[in-house]
Structure formats: C-alpha cells, structure tokens
Chains A and B, each alone.
Chain A
C-alpha cells in the first residue's frame, strides 16, 4: 500500500500532498517561520487523514438523515455537518462533502500555528481559504469540469465571509445526478460549498430527456455511495429553451440556499451558458470559450 507523499512543486512555494484519491495543493503566505511551522503541521496531520476516513467509510457512504449515527473522525464530522442541512430535502451522503471537508481540516491545521497572511488548500478544485484582514484572492471559475478552462474570475476579500469554494459537475471524477457542466459554490467553508455544489448540480437536470444517457452508479464504480441511482454519462446537444429550463432549476435551488445562508453565491454552467446566483461577481475578461483547456483553478 502506498504511503502518503509530500513534496514541493517546482515553484518551491506550494506543497503537494497526495495519498490515494486525495491530492492537495497547499500554499501558505506570511513570514518564513510561520509558513514553515504551518507546512510542518500540515504534513503531520496529512499522514493519518485518509486512514481515518476509510475507517468510517461505510457510514459515510450511506444516505444522511437527521438522527444518523455521528462519526468520530474530525473530517467525517465536517462532512456530516455539511450535508445534514440537505438530509430532509433530498438524497445526499456525507461523501458529497468529502473533498471540501478534507480541505477544511487541512486549512484549520495549517492556520492553527498562526501568523499567516493568507493560505489555501486546493483539493482537486475544492478549495478552503484563509484570508487575514486586508488580504484577497482572485479565484478562477471554470465552465466545464472535465475540460476546465477559466470562464471568469471572482475576487474574494477578507470581509467576504467566504472560506470555501467548490465545483461539481457530471464530467468530473465524482458522479452527478444532473447535467450541469460545472457548478461553483462559495460558502463559509469548503465542505459547505462542496455539499451545496453537489446538490445544485444534481438539480440542473431534464428528467427523462432522451438526449441524456445515464447509467447506474454501481455499474461504473462498484462501491459508489450513489448505489443504483442513475448518473449522467453523456449529454447530447440541447435546445436553448431546454438549457434555460435546466439552469433555472439550479438557480432556484441556489437562491434558496442563499436565503437559508448555506452559501454566499453560485455560478452555474451548462452547454456554454452561465447563470449566477448571489454575490459572485464574475469578471469574464479572460473567457475564450474555444480555447484549449487550461488550469483548473488559478490563484492571483
């Protein structure tokens, strides 16, 4: 079995931690001593994180409900906290927030040693952010999760109240019940953003439409938490009206989540069209829809 790996990227600033399906890019900024202490704390924490999750995998792959048994691991508890607000409304398992919860846990360890001006933990596109007063991030937002390119950027400042960004869609590594190419949510932490993006992406859908090919999740991945639920595997071209309907379903869900204070905003892409809910101000100066895929998330 492969051990967790830790290394610096070629720019010598960002730390790359990898173990099984977890792949983190971490950057902390601030005085050298503070950055060093933060990276060392992050490395130590990372050694056990996947093992802790795997110990409770059965519970975490089961549908969440209000009185469910609570897990013991710190990351697992973050996952459950993030998905419980949805448990009464729709099907969701704690796995919907796994990437965000890992990012949050690592960020809390990273910032726990103190003294950083800003920091982020990027877990395959689901990002936990820390901003000291006055600091800011420029975040790239993608339009398709499987061939990502920067469709625009959003500026996040220390008083935005945003500590997490996550993106979900049907083409990514995780399965989706919907047809959204990408839904990016901004929330107080990455686990909340992750769960919300999953739910909104599931809602952007045209149930029963012949242009959409679906397959039971277990036929693709035998131990998927989605069980026999049909997940999207192909989407043929859709009419403008159909795209509008599907996106509108997502926007309505996103507005409700904003009203419930579960997220601050959401950006939704379907077949090249974009819908915005809440406070995301998308600067589309860089958007070139026909360009080759570029980096997944870009940090200014």
Chain B
C-alpha cells in the first residue's frame, strides 16, 4: 500500500490526475483516501441504457437505437460497493425485488469475503515460463505455482487458502495484493522459480522477460505442417517447424507423405514420436518455437548422403512465424543460409496471420458455499440446491459465472466481464468479491429467504448509486436462462 501522505495518480480516465490524500480528482468521482484510490460514489448499478462509446441500447431491444423515446431502462443492482453483513446470519445488505415480464424477481446482493479463492491465469505463449509445479512469486513471496500447460498457453494457479492463510504473514498479504490487482485488471509482475519473469494483466498481452508477446502460435509444429503442407508443396524441398513440444518435419510427416513429398534424408536430433513428429529437439527456452535455440540448424544431426542432394532447399520456421530461415545444401550437403524467397516470406506471413493475439486471461475462482449463504436464506443448503437446480442464477457484479458441478458453490468468472475495480480486500487477508443471487420471489420464499428484508430497487438512494453500462457481451443478469440449461 502506498504512503498516505503521497499524491496518487488516478487512472480512471485519460486525464490521469494526481490526487492528494483527502482530495478528489478533476471529476469529483475518484478520491485519494489514505493513499488508496477510491470511488466516491460507492454502489454500482448496471443501467441497461448505458453503453460504452457507441450506440445507446434501448429497453427491450438489442438493435440500433430507433431515435424514438426510450423508456426508463431496467437496472440491475450489483454487489459492487454493497458491503457485507457480519456475522453472516444477518440478511444480506440488499435484497432487491424487481419485476420482469410480470414475474417478481429477487436479487440478493452482497459482497462476499473469500478466504477460499484464487485465480487461474492463462498466458498465451509458447515460451517456457517455468516447469510444472514451480513456485510463482510476487515481490519474492510464493503466491502460487505453474500448473499443466494448455494448447498454446501456459497456466498458473495463484492464491488459494494455503497461500492466503497458512504461510507467513507477509506471504498472505502479498498473495492477497496479487489476487486483488489481477482481479482488478492491473498489471502484476510474477517471477517463476527456475523460469521467467512475466507481467500479467487481464486482457493484455503477457510480457515475458521484458518482451511483450504478440501472438499465440498457430498450432504445434506438427499441426502447422498439417495446416500448410499443401501451400508449401512444390515451392521448397523440406520444411521444419521448430517447436519445443512437437517439432514437425514435412517430408516425413503424414501430410507430406500424402502429397508425395520426396524423402530428403534429414536426420533430426530429439526423440521421434511418430513419423515427422519429434519431441525434445532442444531445451525449453525463449528462442525458436519455445526452445532455447538461437541457431535452428542445431536440431539437425545430418543429411543422409544416399537420399539428400546438393541444392536441396530447406525452410525452417517457428510456430508463430516469429523466426524463419532458408537454406540450400552445398556439395558437401551442408546447409548454407540464403535470403528468404518470396514464396517462403508469404508462408511466414500466412503463419503470422493465423496466430491469434496473445493475451493473459484471469479467472477468479472462489467458494461461495460457506456462511454467506446464510445472508440469503436461513436454510443454507437449500441455496446450494437451488443454484444446482438452475432456479437461482449467480452473477459476480452482473457478470455470468461458471458453477462447478459437485458439492458447494464453487464459481469461476472472467474478471474482464465485471465493471472496473469490482474487487476489494480485507486485511484478514481475504478477497472481497461481489456476488448476486437472482431467483423468483416464489422460489425465494420456498428456500426460506429473508422475505421481510426484500425491498424494491427504487428504494435505493440515488445518491449512493453509480450507474454503469453493462458489458454488452454479458447476458442481462435478470433475463431468465432457459431452465435446465447451463449458463456461463
């Protein structure tokens, strides 16, 4: 936390005001409270007419605004800034009724204090960030670990109850700070034991060892051969797609065989998995295709003189098209580097074009199956069952969540789908996240809800609200999902 006597820089809008302690910025909406940037108007209400930048979305229609008079839009009261009640057997701070197509709906709105929570981070890169199970650190403190990698992405699992509560006090505090920043879409520098330093910011490209990642790979080396073999055929004799996981060799690969690519007598380092697919051609690293190579020829053992021929052309490329080289065999069958012919430059461009932008994604994961349920109902397990039966919809700041099957209410939510700065913390340490349970009034009564605490949305003081536009990619939280279908 920053020094309270210092001014802080507000990044809520492009003015980037410096704000002194106790003062507000030029907008009067953001303030410096003891070194922390806080929103002065506390309670976020999604207003369906508010839209980012472009068109105004009218009530009851997702089409372009027709220019006519627009009815007062429906609003959804989120839990952001709602506060919480402790101990939890008290009813949640806001139990709001709204009418939707003649049906009375209830939204129970609270900010959950989560000791059992963490983030799953997907980092789109082939670069070796660290070995599986390696410790991930923030400010030197262990905050999580590298988990099993996915296609084109490295995965981190951060936070969780053990780092938050079992380690040294500093470990818990730094873990909490790291989770909070990641959830609020701020950049966080993470260092992996025996691996890379990576800057992670939800929705932004990762920065690995100081270099921003631009693209995801188009596929593994073998898949790249499969995708583009026909386009390369006849333009070059041999293609090697360098990939730390699975390096592909055109002439041996099934795709090359089907096309009738002539054998080249190439002998590769590494371990052959199936024809034209090689594992462990080098060590993992930040070079060609996630290997440690700066000279791609190091993965070729030799060319068989019985099959190779002088003048044989060889194209080597990485799975992102970031690295590429072109060679011709001389009379001794040694590869000599040549300028990339235009057909091969086109091939590189095609690979690059097919690579999606590399991003970091942060999913917040938490267990809402504990005592906060008592703020919703006097019979907590009924809430769990109601969620499982799809009678109660769970949202985080109005954003859709995925509820894990099995016991409890274990949810995951993409942090970029919540309004900005939706997460908070308590020094326990634990993360404070908004959570809303929406169901029909009849179902709420059945599960033993705090019916006497239900109040209409209009009873909220306008002074305490901040209206924000909904994320247009989110389903409207009050729209009923078809029963029996999973919503994410």
B27 near A: Cβ within 8 Å? Answer: yes
A73 near B: Cβ within 8 Å? Answer: no
CA–CA, A6 and B70, complex, Å: 13
A43 near B: Cβ within 8 Å? Answer: yes
The minimal Cβ–Cβ distance linking B217 to chain A, given in whole angstroms, is 30
The minimal Cβ–Cβ distance linking B184 to chain A, given in whole angstroms, is 12
Instruction: Give the residue of B16, B17, B56 whose beta carbon is less than 8 angstroms from that of A8.
Output: B56
A50 near B: Cβ within 8 Å? Answer: yes
- Evaluate contact between B47 and A7: CB separation under 8 angstroms: yes
- List B contacts of A43 (CB < 8 A): 54-56
- Evaluate contact between A220 and B469: CB separation under 8 angstroms: no
Instruction: Known contacts A2-B12, A7-B467, A32-B68; decide if A47 and B54 are in contact (CB<8 Å).
Output: yes
A20 near B: Cβ within 8 Å? Answer: yes
The minimal Cβ–Cβ distance linking B146 to chain A, given in whole angstroms, is 31
Instruction: Give the residue of A6, A36, A223 whose beta carbon is less than 8 angstroms from that of B51.
Output: A6
- Evaluate contact between B7 and A222: CB separation under 8 angstroms: yes
List 8 A-B pairs, Cβ < 8 Å. Answer: A1-B420, A2-B420, A5-B468, A6-B56, A10-B72, A12-B72, A20-B27, A39-B56
Interface of chain A residues 1 through 30 with chain B (CB within 8 A)? 1-8, 10, 12-13, 19-21, 23
A contact residues, total (Cβ < 8 Å): 34
The minimal Cβ–Cβ distance linking B147 to chain A, given in whole angstroms, is 31
Taking chain A's interface residues, is the majority helix, strand, or loop, or is none over half, making it mixed? mixed
Taking chain B's interface residues, is the majority helix, strand, or loop, or is none over half, making it mixed? loop
B1 near A: Cβ within 8 Å? Answer: no
- Evaluate contact between A221 and B20: CB separation under 8 angstroms: yes
Number of residue pairs A-B, CB distance < 8 angstroms: 98
| Smallest CB gap from B462: residue in A | A10
Instruction: Known contacts A51-B14, A220-B23; decide if A7 and B56 are in contact (CB<8 Å).
Output: yes
Query: Would you give the 0/1 interface string for A165-196, flagging 1 where the beta carbon is closer than 8 Å to chain B?
Result: 00000000100000000000000000000000
| Smallest CB gap from A20: residue in B | B13
Query: Would you give the 0/1 interface string for B293-314, flagging 1 where the beta carbon is closer than 8 Å to chain A?
Result: 0000000000000000000000
A33 near B: Cβ within 8 Å? Answer: yes
- Evaluate contact between B14 and A7: CB separation under 8 angstroms: no
Instruction: Known contacts A6-B56, A7-B49; decide if A35 and B67 are in contact (CB<8 Å).
Output: yes
A90 near B: Cβ within 8 Å? Answer: no
Kindly list 4 other residue pairs between chains A and B, CB separation below 8 angstroms, not including A35-B67, A39-B67, A43-B55.
A6-B53, A7-B467, A8-B49, A33-B67
- Evaluate contact between A1 and B70: CB separation under 8 angstroms: no
- Evaluate contact between A5 and B50: CB separation under 8 angstroms: yes
The minimal Cβ–Cβ distance linking A220 to chain B, given in whole angstroms, is 6
Instruction: Give the residue of A5, A21, A33 whose beta carbon is less than 8 angstroms from that of B469.
Output: A5
| Smallest CB gap from A51: residue in B | B14
Most chain A beta carbons < 10 A, residue from B17, B67, B68, B71: B67
- Evaluate contact between B26 and A7: CB separation under 8 angstroms: no
Query: Would you give the 0/1 interface string for A41-71, flagging 1 where the beta carbon is closer than 8 Å to chain B?
Result: 0010001001100100100000000000000
Instruction: Known contacts A20-B12, A43-B55, A50-B14; decide if A220 and B20 are in contact (CB<8 Å).
Output: yes
| Smallest CB gap from A15: residue in B | B56
The minimal Cβ–Cβ distance linking B78 to chain A, given in whole angstroms, is 15
Instruction: Give the residue of A1, A12, A33, A37 whose beta carbon is less than 8 angstroms from that of B13.
Output: A1
- List B contacts of A8 (CB < 8 A): 49, 56, 70
- List A contacts of B16 (CB < 8 A): 54
B11 near A: Cβ within 8 Å? Answer: yes
Interface of chain A residues 257 through 285 with chain B (CB within 8 A)? none
Instruction: Give the residue of B52, B56, B67, B71 whose beta carbon is less than 8 angstroms from that of A3.
Output: B52
B18 near A: Cβ within 8 Å? Answer: yes
B28 near A: Cβ within 8 Å? Answer: yes
Instruction: Known contacts A7-B49, A10-B72, A47-B53; decide if A1 and B17 are in contact (CB<8 Å).
Output: no
| Smallest CB gap from B467: residue in A | A7
CA–CA, A21 and B73, complex, Å: 24
- Evaluate contact between A5 and B52: CB separation under 8 angstroms: yes
The minimal Cβ–Cβ distance linking A241 to chain B, given in whole angstroms, is 35
The minimal Cβ–Cβ distance linking A85 to chain B, given in whole angstroms, is 25
Most chain A beta carbons < 10 A, residue from B14, B27, B71, B469: B14
Interface of chain B residues 1 through 35 with chain A (CB within 8 A)? 7, 11-20, 23, 25-28
